[in-house]
């Protein structure tokens, strides 16, 4: 690692240096060479200095015609915002850079395919009170903010996130908590939005403590991309506060191995060291992670960061996302190339969030070749065929039983 970059690491390395650490690098300060380390490591400075305009983008990197047109359209769909930390991961002279494709708008966002939707997961139709989505029997999605550190161009909630969409998020917190107190079947609450970790420590703690005061709620989850977009936010103070509300789980969102920088690895490590289990939810994106080599490198780096690859989502049918959508067949192909060829901990579950509110449906390679009342015929990752007897078959005949009496 370049020693000039060490000063920009948010915290001193808390784990011994290993050979695998060569996979993790810091890109600070990059396009901000004159910024002092104390500013760079301040998450509020990072938010204040996000790249949000066409003029600023063009100061930093050359844009393609498609990108320039996309930025001009962005304010009508989903705002442009990229933290300095994440912006430094973009390859300036590579229009096909996988980081660039995720956060810089393109003119294709203005095209809506016939099958695309404003609300592909049907959240609005499963919202009993404003800001609370109750789609599964025992768990709810609690939308606590409409802001993110940076905005992903494939955002499934672009209709309400960033303030540029067609709707506004009007979460009624009193109604939401009253609903949770009344519905004793709810045992699991997921904080999302937007990104809950953009809230101040004090506001986030108020929400956590109020949820924790409801007896039938067993655990809380936070869905976030802040540790990746804004690792400076994962302060020791935040981690100590979160630790008070166990069992608390966190789902992070990493799509490409380049996103796992030194700073991100250390931020994730601080969360784990405070007892927070981490799972990763990637979105399967064309030109970003839709090849076996990239996905294998991603899941292996996640495990080095003590993050379990959890879900690989087929890109939701959000309006203006067709240029980022890879095929389901290719997703199945990638899962098949991982299963059996690397540790099972590294293999995520490939899912489609069924359009219109059907929930997550697992999509797997076909390992079951035949199944009847007597047996199941299966193949393994090598293509070898095996038979397994179906449960419930008699072990011995009635005549044999009589002989033993």
Over the stretch 125-149, which tens digit does the pLDDT of each residue have?
Answer: 999 999 999 999 999 999 999 999 9
Query: Annotated catalytic residue: which of 121, 148, 305, 315?
Result: 148
Domain ranges of the chain: 1-365, 368-403
Work out the average pLDDT over 299-319: 98
Evaluate the CA torsion angle 201, 203, 204, 209 in order and state its sign.
Answer: positive
* Catalytic (active site) residue 305: no
- Taking residues 32-46, report their average pLDDT: 98
Q: Which of 100, 101, 139, 225 is catalytic?
A: 139
Known catalytic residue at 353: yes
152 is in an annotated binding site: yes
206 is catalytic: no
Residue 164 banded pLDDT, cuts 50, 70, 90? confident
Non-local (6+) Cβ contacts of 203 within 8 A are none
CB atoms within 10 A of CB 381: 13
Identify whether 239 is a catalytic site residue: no
Cβ neighbours of 398 (radius 10 Å): 7
Predicted confidence band of residue 56 (pLDDT cuts 50, 70, 90)? very high
pTM of the predicted model over 0.85: yes
User: Would the pLDDT of 398 be above 90?
Assistant: no
Report yes or no: 176 and 208 within 8 Å, Cβ to Cβ.
Answer: no
- 370 in active site: no
Which range (13-22, 150-159, 288-297) has the least confidence?
13-22
Q: Is 97 annotated as a binding residue?
A: no
**313 in Cβ contact with 284 (< 8 Å):** yes
135 is catalytic: yes
- Reported confidence tier of residue 405, pLDDT bands at 50, 70, 90: low
Residues with Cβ within 8 Å of 265's Cβ and at least 6 positions away in sequence, in order, are 24, 304, 305
Classify residue 306 as exposed, middle or buried by CB count within 10 Å of its CB (0-12, 13-18, 19+): middle
Among 159, 221, 316, 325, the one annotated catalytic: 316
Nearest to 10 by CA among 300, 269, 308: 269
106 is catalytic: no
* pLDDT at 10 (0 to 100): 43
| pLDDT for 13 | 47
**Catalytic residue check, 148:** yes
Q: What is the mean pLDDT of residues 259-274?
A: 98
239 marked as binding residue: no
Question: How high is the pLDDT of residue 392?
Answer: 74
Q: What is the mean pLDDT of the chain?
A: 93
> Which one is catalytic: 42, 119, 146, 353?
353
**121, 155, 305, 315: which is the annotated catalytic residue?**
155
Whether omega before 338 lies within 30 degrees of 0, making that bond cis, reads no
Q: What is the pLDDT of residue 17?
A: 54
Which CATH topology does 1-365 take? TIM Barrel (3.20.20)
In the residue annotation, 233 being an active-site residue is answered as: no
């Amino acid at each position: 690692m370049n020693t000039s970059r060490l000063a920009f690491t948010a915290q001193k390395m808390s784990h011994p240096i290993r050979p695998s650490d060569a996979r993790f690098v810091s890109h600070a300060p990059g396009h901000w060479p004159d910024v002092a380390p104390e500013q760079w490591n301040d998450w509020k400075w990072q938010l204040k200095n996000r790249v949000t305009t066409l003029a600023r983008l063009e100061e930093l990197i050359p844009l393609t015609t498609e990108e320039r047109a996309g930025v001009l359209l962005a304010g009508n769909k989903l705002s442009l915002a990229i933290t300095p930390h994440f912006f430094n991961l973009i390859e300036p002279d590579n229009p096909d850079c996988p980081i660039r494709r995720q956060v810089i708008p393109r003119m294709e966002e203005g095209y809506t395919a016939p099958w695309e939707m404003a609300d592909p997961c049907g959240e609005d139709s499963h919202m009993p009170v404003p800001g609370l989505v109750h789609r599964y029997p025992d768990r709810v999605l609690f939308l606590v903010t409409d802001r993110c550190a940076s905005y992903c161009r494939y955002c499934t909630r672009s209709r309400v996130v960033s303030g540029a969409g067609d709707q506004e998020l009007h979460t009624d917190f009193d109604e939401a908590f009253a609903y949770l107190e009344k519905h004793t079947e709810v045992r699991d609450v997921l904080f999302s939005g937007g990104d809950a970790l953009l809230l101040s420590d004090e506001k986030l703690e108020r929400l956590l403590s109020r949820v924790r005061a409801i007896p039938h709620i067993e655990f809380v989850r936070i869905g976030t991309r802040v540790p990746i977009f804004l690792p400076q936010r994962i302060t020791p103070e935040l981690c100590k506060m979160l630790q008070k509300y166990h069992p608390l789980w966190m789902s992070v969102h990493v799509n490409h191995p380049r996103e796992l920088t030194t700073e991100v690895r250390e931020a994730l490590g601080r969360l784990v060291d405070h007892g927070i289990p981490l799972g990763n939810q990637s979105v399967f994106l064309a030109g970003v992670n839709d090849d076996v080599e990239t996905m294998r490198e991603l899941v292996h780096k996640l495990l080095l960061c003590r993050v379990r690859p959890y879900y690989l989502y087929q890109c939701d049918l959000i309006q203006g996302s067709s240029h980022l959508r890879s095929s389901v067949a290719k997703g199945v192909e990638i899962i098949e190339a991982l299963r059996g060829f690397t540790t099972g901990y590294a293999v995520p579950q490939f899912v489609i969030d069924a359009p219109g509110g059907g929930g997550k449906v697992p999509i797997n390679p076909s390992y079951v070749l035949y199944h009847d009342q007597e047996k199941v015929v299966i193949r393994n990752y090598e293509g070898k065929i095996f038979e397994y007897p179906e449960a419930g078959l008699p072990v011995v005949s009635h005549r044999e039983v009589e002989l033993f009496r």
